[in-house]
Amino acid sequence: MEYGLAHRIWENIRQIGIDEIQVFIGHKYLTMVYQIDKGVRRLLWRGPDRRVKTLLQFFREFGPERSRLLQYVSSDMWAPYLKVIKKKAPNALNILDRFHIMKKFNEAVMR
């Protein structure tokens, strides 16, 4: 993974997915950013924790010009991610993942 991240090509990325994975028992996470363009699925970046400053670090490395060219960002409904995406990828349509949409829908129906 380290080799791939060190030699990644940042060009022609129009769609990304952002999520976190739990890496240890408890609340220890890694933030993962993937390219999800048609025909290209790959890990672009990973950072420690699940925080605003973690995702901001990705966008700093990715750069403002490439961020402006993003068309779609897929993410969950975690408010800090949504805030950063809105600020750093203002031209992209933020698509929320099905799992979280259905979870909220089911919660609303069960009330």
pLDDT tens per residue, range 42-61:
999 999 988 999 999 999 99
Question: Interior CA angle at 15 toward 44 and 66, to 5°?
Answer: 75
Token pair of 32 as six digits? 């993962």
Is residue 91 pLDDT above 90, yes or no? yes
**Which CATH number goes with the domain that contains 16?**
3.30.420
The pLDDT confidence band at residue 104, using thresholds 50, 70 and 90, is confident
pLDDT at 7: 79
* Structural domain range at position 61: 2-110
Is residue 9 pLDDT above 90, yes or no? no
Residue with tokens 């609303």: 108
Is residue 19 pLDDT above 80, yes or no? yes
Q: How far is CA 26 from CA 23, 40, 59, 64, 96, in A?
A: 9, 33, 27, 34, 25
Question: Where does residue 102 rank: exposed (0-12), middle (13-18), buried (19+ CB within 10 A)?
Answer: exposed
Number of domains the chain is built from? 1
A 10 A CB-CB count for 97 gives: 15
